[in-house]
A = this chain, B = another copy of it.
Amino acid sequence: MASIKDVARQAGVAISTVSKVLNGYEGVSESTKDKVNAAIEALNYTPNAVAAALSSKQFGRVALLLKLEETVGCVDEINLQYLSGAIHRAKELKLDVVTLFFSMVADMGLDELTSYLKAQSVEGIIAYGMNEEDEFLRELIASGAFKIVLVDAPYHDRNTSSVWIDQKNAQYEIAKKTILGNESCTKVLYIAGDKKSFVTGERIAGMKKLAEELALELTIEYGDFSEKKARELTFSYADRMDVFVCASDLMAIGAMRALMELDVFHPVCGFDGIPLMSYAGKQMNTVRQDFYGVSAAAVEEVDRLLHLEEGRNVVLGYELVRMRYQDIVE
Contacts and interface: CB of A to CB of B under 8 A. Distances in A.
Contacts of A46: 115-116, 118-119
Interface in A275-313: 275-276, 278-279
A89 to B, nearest CB: 11
Contacts of A54: 48, 50-51, 54
Contacts of A257: 327-328
Q: Copies of this chain, how many?
A: 2
Contact of A330 (B44, B79, B227): B227
B119 A330 contact: no
Interface stretch (A99-107, A136-144, A160-168, A201-209): A99-107
Interface string A87-106: 11001000011111100100
A107 B46 CA distance: 18
B227 A120 contact: no
A120 B231 contact: no
Given A73-B77, A118-B1, A111 B330 contact: no
Given A54-B50, A121-B48, A96 B98 contact: yes
A96 B73 CA distance: 26
A119 B48 contact: yes
Interface residues of A, number: 57
B120 A49 contact: yes
Given A46-B116, A46-B118, 19 more contacts: A44-B111, A49-B119, A50-B59, A54-B54, A68-B84, A71-B329, A73-B77, A76-B76, A79-B80, A84-B101, A96-B120, A97-B98, A97-B99, A226-B330, A227-B330, A228-B329, A229-B330, A250-B329, A254-B328
A53 interface: yes
The SS class assigned to the A binding surface is: helix
Interface string A154-180: 000000000000000000000000000
A193 to B, nearest CB: 14
B121 A74 contact: no
A46 B117 CA distance: 10
Nearest to A99: B99
7 contacts: A46-B118, A47-B119, A49-B120, A73-B275, A83-B99, A227-B328, A227-B330
